[in-house]
Amino acid sequence: MKKTVFTGSAVAIITPMNSDGSVNYDSLEKIIEFQIENGTDAIVSCGTTGESAVLDHKEHCDVISFTLEKVGGRVPVIAGTGSNDTRYAVELTKTAEELGADAILSVTPYYNKSSQQGLVKHFTAIAECTSLPIILYNVPSRTGCNIRLNTYKELSKIENIVAAKEASGDVGYAAQILAECGDALTIYSGNDDLTVPLMSLGGKGVISVFANVMPKEMHEITSLMLSGETDKAAKLHLKYLKLMNMLFCDVNPIPVKEAMNMIGFDCGECRLPLCSMTQENHQALKAVLEEYGLIK
């Protein structure tokens, strides 16, 4: 069996911004400490929720480096190093390894997409450039590119491709991956609202947006699942489902960033082309946060 990068809840951490649009490292440090103090099992830096698509190369590397420094080995740090340009994905991956990342998260190529043969070649090239464990990231709703079952099986044969963040939103498909790949590929839920169903089939955790706001609660849900206390986990999952869903009332990470602002973290706005949510959604989000006692 391949070594598991983490089990439980990994936060897909936001990248807070100053009013001038630069990265707010003071706020990022506070958010990192908030996460670790509340039991987060791993931190994913510069993923989709971290606005990796609008960070330039220096910012991308600096955010990963800063996160590694402030975490200081207390939990694994997984660096988002995906790209639709294989050469650049390789470059970012090499840099992440030099910086000391514990693993990388590599999304499927977007916009230009890829054939399944191209996906195998793309991820093989990344795997060959690093000794780090690799978590594949399948999110066809954002990339227009889906990792098919036979491709998952082929990629799982590569020693340092150890896991996948499955964000297709299809539990049945995730079940097929678990059945076919077995111990060769750890599966994490890429959808907060499917965490308990996927873990009930053998998934080992979640890479979570919701955990930005409620890290302790998502850690508890996954811990209960890992210890076999499914009924308790399911009750908590259903308890927090409204907020999990509300954090996707607009394009991620717009709602979660606004939620973090509301609960007291200075996170600023998302960079364009993502913009502030509508007043209607803002009020709806505020009402849900009040319902959970996160704001008064």
Contact 243, 218 (CB under 8 A): no
Q: Pull the structure tokens for residue 82.
A: 């995906």
CA–CA distance, 90 with 72 (Å, rounded to integer): 25
Question: Pseudo-torsion of CA 200, 202, 205, 208, nearest 10°?
Answer: -70
Strands (E), 130-258: 134-138, 161-166, 186-189, 205-208
The catalytic position among 70, 137, 152, 204 is 137
Q: Which H or E run contains 216?
A: helix 215-226
H-only helix segments in 156-204: 171-181, 195-200
Could you confirm whether 111 is annotated as catalytic? no
DSSP category for residue 103: E
Could you confirm whether 235 is annotated as catalytic? no
The catalytic position among 165, 188, 204, 240 is 165
CA–CA distance, 10 with 2 (Å, rounded to integer): 19
Residue in the structure block whose two tokens are 């099986």? 153
Q: Among all residues, which ones are annotated catalytic? A: 137, 165
